[in-house]
Every structure is written in C-alpha cells, then in structure tokens.
Structure 1
C-alpha cells in the first residue's frame, strides 16, 4: 500500500492537500512515488483516489461527532461530506434527523439544495413524508418554473406525488409549447413582408380533382399553422423564404392531408409529406394532381417576369 495524499480541513472548512507529486501519463492516477509529501493543488487524480471505499477503522475529530457524524458516510464521498458537515448547518440538521437519503441527494445536487431548501423545510414542518426526494425535488422545481408559490404547503405536500408530478410536468410542456408558438408567431410577423415580395404572384392558385383540393399557402401564419398541424418543419426551416420553392397544402373536405414543396426552377414536386413527414395513401394522387396543374404556376411566373 502506498500513500498518495491527505485531505485536511480546518473548522471553517478550508481545505489543504498534502500529497506526493502527480505526473502526466496515460492514466489518471499516475504519480511520482518517490517525491516528497508536500502541499499540492487539488486535482482529479487525488479526488479519484479519495472516492475509493473507506477503510473501516478510522478516527474522527470531536467537532465532526458533535455535528452528527456516526462512523458512516452513507455513500457520500468524504471530500464532499466532511467540509459540508463542518460548514453547512443544513447538513448537520439532515444528518441528526436521520434523513441521510435526502442528504446524499442534496449534496449531489447543489442547485436543488440552494433553490429548494426553504420549500423542503416547510414540507418537513408540516409532517409531509418525502419518500422519493428526487421525484419531490423535480416536482417542486416544475412548480417553480410554472410560477407557483413553492412556499405554500398546498403545493408542497401532494397526496399523490407521482400523479401530481406528472400532471404539473404536462402543464409545463403545454406552457412551453404556447411560448414557442408565440415566438414563432412573432417571427411570422417579422417575415411576412419579405414572404409577400417573393410569393404574392402565386396567391390564389388552387385546383382539385374532385376529391383532393390543393392551394398555395398565402401567409407566413399559414405556414406556421401547417407546420404545427402536420408536425413537420415547413415553418421552422423557413421554407416560405426559399426563393426557389413554393409551398402548397393538399386537403380533403378541409382536413390537411399532405404539404407539398414545388421547385420554382424545375416546376417539379420536391417533396410531399403528411403528418410527421410520412406519406399518406393519397401521396401518388396528390403528386400527379400537382404535376398536372404546374402550368398554373408557370403562367404566373411568366406574367410577372
């Protein structure tokens, strides 16, 4: 057994590392074994060694025992556990209350420790049994993102944690979707002028074979609605600003079936996609219908040349 180094903390949690010299090599734990023990800068090599299992026979200072240490690290690495116990009263509180699962979670998630501690204290004072600290923390963080009062026991102490977590998460997703649509609508307003300069000559083009109706999308907003409804990228990839493309929508009795891109250079159908970019049973019929009416597009281009 070769001693690599020692971690030292004073009562204020200030750290010093006394160790042999680390050398660069293919592996993390490469050392100059005949170098003297001296104060070194902490690094990943010493931290890596310190994460190893703890030899069961050890002695600790009185202040650690005063703060609640009882010869068990509870799966927490000593380099996190010891300075936290020396400097953070919250750690002492959790340890003495026997909430070691919660302590392990919070020390591994410092942002949650800082942001949710007040909420945690309120829930505990109300006698709420947090059986899954990770799920509870995620739930409260979701409440925070939704703008809810995370200091209100009504929210912090749900009877069905899993069910309420899932419901609030779905609410957050819907909120994000609304914000995303609002941002897209703002972009649509900004791009509308340029779109009309490029494509207004094609407005009004529509045709049908008696079953399928096809028409040109005549605004950026219509491209947005098409993309949202069909779950594809016709809006997000700004097809409406492509100078050599024209976007049309194929519908049956008002229901969107496929979105068609026509090349204004070759007048050929580049692609025709249904929901989630999948072809529908009407795909060939739609392509043939557009090809049969591409003269409408050609004449508009010649009229404005």
Structure 2
C-alpha cells in the first residue's frame, strides 16, 4: 500500500536503510526457536536431523526420549523421537528489537526448518513484518501481503515487498524468541524501561509507556502486575482507579494480581467504602478480603432479587385468592405429622426459601389445577406436597432440595386418606 502521509513516507524511507539479518542472528534463531530432533528407528539407530549423521543409539530409548542425547558429529543437543516419519517441517517466528533513526523498531522474521532423515537440515528466513514506534507513541506497520486463506491469517506472500499496511491481527506476532542483543531509543529508557518486559509483549509495552504517563508511573513504581492488566484490559480505564493506585504506591504496597485488585476496588466502590483509605486499598490478604466481599455482594444481590420477585408475586395475591380461597383452612394430622394448605403468596415464598426448591420461583400459586400443602412435624417443615385438583392425586412431595425424606410414604398416605376434604371444597 502506498504511504499516505509524511509520517508513513518517512517510515518507508528509514525501512529501506535497515540492514539485512546477519548470519550470527540467523544461527541464533535456528538454535533457539526450534526443537532439534534425533530420529530413532525401530532398530535403535538415531539420525541427527540437523546434520544427517546416523549412529547406533543402544538400548535406552526411554532414557533418550526423556533426557535426549548429543549428536557425536555436530554436538547438537537432540530431542529423541522414535518414529517412522522421514520428513519434518516446522515454522516459527523470530523477533529483533532495534532502533532506526528516532524510531523503536520491532522486526519479525518467518523462519522454516525442513528436515529429512539422512540429509542436513534446510532453513529459510524471511522478514515479514516491521512495527515502528515513534517517541510520541505513533505507530506504523511495514509488512508483506498475505495470501487468501480461510484457515490461516498469516499465510505470507513472500514474493511481495515490505510496504505500509493497514493494521491486522496477523501483525500481532508473538515470536518464539527475541534476539538477545537489543537496542532501545532514549525515551523508552527515560520512561522506565530497564530491559525487562514483565510478561508484556514489547510492542504493547513500548507503545503504552510512550503514550500514557500513568502507565509510565506504574512501570517506574514496580507495579508490573497492574501495568500488565491495564495494557491488556479493554474494559477498564486506569483513571477510575488512579487515586487508589497512588495510595498503594505511597504506602509501598505492591499489587501482585492486577485483575483481582481492580475487582476488589470495584467491590469497595459498590459498598461505598473510602477508596483513599490505605486500610481498604492495601489489604494484607487480597484474596481473602476479595472473596469475602464477593460473597457479601452475591448475598445482597440475592436478597434484592428475591425481594423484587416477592414484590412482583404480591401483585398476584388477588389472582391467587380467586383461584384457591375456597381451599383455605384445610389441614389434617395423624398426631405426628400436620399437613396444611398454603394460603398466601408470602407463605409460598417462605416455603420455597426454607425448603430450597422452586415452589415459589416457578409460580405454583398461580397454577389453577394445583393445590400445595406444607407437611410439618412440631412446626418444622418436612415436605411440600402438590395435589392435582383434576385427579386428586399427589403429583409430588418434596423435602429440602427436592429430596425424599423418611416420612415421605407416611405423608403421601395421610394426604390420600384426607382427599375427601379437598373434594368437598371443589363441589361447594
């Protein structure tokens, strides 16, 4: 794609001055980006797929598979694999962190390894992407074209030129290794970078500390976990947490888990706590207080949900009475077990809450052909009984969490014995 502005034109001009990858860099990449394979055949012969040398590996295939071995010809440490496969192909990316002019540059190389038993390995290395970062954080991408594919988005057309390209996820490369010798522009060092990436991709780290002074502060203050979280979180704005972050830094509190700490601050905000108080902001045991507040919030939300549900249900109280008022007052007992009809929506709520089942949440009180009783012993709920008003048969009788109790058969027998009380009300 043709450069559209002076910034992109400048990048292209500088890109043409970048040196080609050196032979030492290639050798380093080939050594560190790939597993080096020794192929063992069923006869115990090992073939080095780096140089093609073959030797008798003896009778220790298990030890070789675990510990590997060293090729006696090229001295390469090999991972031994017992297989009949003869051709091995592998592709990886290799990165170089360098500078050009005033820019921080990340160069990415597409490297291939072609191995065939009995032949020296063949490597190829082609530069496919360059990511340019100006001192003010402005970026540009120089890359080759990609071939059309529904399966692979990084299928490069290696015959095309390196040109300015529109950003695409194929340019977000995570190479197997970055070359160990790296160069950085002065502003990257000035903004707190000391050579360690703290599990953040170099491009993301450089761009963030060059464009966001608060991220620069986190890096300089050693709040690496929090920095990583804000670099990769698309749902959180660092400004919403900045006052609390300043309190943590001022009190020498290092945040070990950025995501959990931000969740914790959100919970403190939900409960109206003082987010400028070090006692809250800098807990000794983050996980413990976080989990406690999560449980507290879940309990509150559950209470609010049930209260809302209960209020909506009360709006159906009149409808419930129209359907079931004629059955109110029905109760019977065998001396130990008492069974009585539920006579209000609130009683359905309390029954469902105590018994941990859905007699309330599934609106049993509005079912025209259903009548619900509560069976108790000495005032303690034992089972909830549903009777069909069409057949006068017990549809179900459930204990806590829909279980059956030791009194189940006795309760069902007692209900069946007193069905005439229900039939009289039906015919009244």
- TM-score bucket of the superposed structures, by smaller chain: 0.7 to 0.9
- Report what 2:202 is aligned to: 78
- Report what 2:162 is aligned to: 37
Identify, as 1 or 2, the structure richer in strand.
Answer: 2
Greater mean deviation of Cα atoms: 273-282 or 290-299: 290-299
CA distance in 1, matches of 2:175, 2:375: 62
TM-score scaled by length of structure 2:
0.64
- Report what 1:281 is aligned to: 406
Secondary structure of 2:274's partner? Answer: coil
CA deviation vs aligned residue, 1:3-42 (integer Å, no higher than 9, x gap) = 3322233344333333223322223433333333333332
CA distance in 2, matches of 1:143, 1:51: 40
- Report what 1:237 is aligned to: 362
Q: How far has the Cα of 1:76 moved from its partner? A: 0.6
Q: 2:280 aligns with which of 147, 150, 155?
A: 155
- Report what 1:64 is aligned to: 188
- Report what 1:179 is aligned to: 304
Q: How far has the Cα of 1:105 moved from its partner? A: 3.0
- Report what 2:222 is aligned to: 98
CA distance in 1, matches of 2:335, 2:175: 73
Unaligned runs of 5+ in 1: none
CA distance in 2, matches of 1:281, 1:44: 62
CA distance in 1, matches of 2:396, 2:201: 56
Cα pair distance change 1:62/1:226, threshold 3 Å: same
Q: How far has the Cα of 1:250 moved from its partner? A: 1.1
CA distance in 2, matches of 1:267, 1:3: 81
Residues 124-143 of structure 1 aligned to structure 2 (within 5 Å): 124-143=249-268
Secondary structure of 1:26's partner? Answer: coil
- Report what 1:5 is aligned to: 129
Unaligned runs of 5+ in 2: 1-124
Residues 216-227 of structure 1 aligned to structure 2 (within 5 Å): 216-227=341-352
CA distance in 1, matches of 2:387, 2:273: 48
CA distance in 2, matches of 1:172, 1:166: 10
CA deviation vs aligned residue, 1:256-287 (integer Å, no higher than 9, x gap) = 11112222232222222111121111112222
Are positions 1:87 and 2:208 aligned together? no
- Report what 1:264 is aligned to: 389
- Report what 1:168 is aligned to: 293
Q: 1:190 aligns with which of 299, 303, 315?
A: 315
Q: Name the Cα RMSD after superposition.
A: 2.4
CA distance in 2, matches of 1:40, 1:287: 76
Q: How far has the Cα of 1:52 moved from its partner? A: 5.0
Identify, as 1 or 2, the structure richer in helix.
Answer: 1
TM-score scaled by length of structure 1:
0.88
- Report what 1:17 is aligned to: 141
- Report what 2:98 is aligned to: none
CA deviation vs aligned residue, 1:197-240 (integer Å, no higher than 9, x gap) = 22222222211121111111111111111111111121112222
Greater mean deviation of Cα atoms: 196-205 or 31-40: 31-40
Q: How far has the Cα of 1:87 moved from its partner? A: 0.8
Tell me if structure 1 keeps the 8 A contact 2:221–2:249: no
Q: How far has the Cα of 1:51 moved from its partner? A: 6.2
Tell me if structure 2 keeps the 8 A contact 1:64–1:86: yes
CA deviation vs aligned residue, 1:99-141 (integer Å, no higher than 9, x gap) = 3233223323351734322212112213334455444333322
Secondary structure of 1:32's partner? Answer: coil
CA distance in 1, matches of 2:338, 2:175: 67
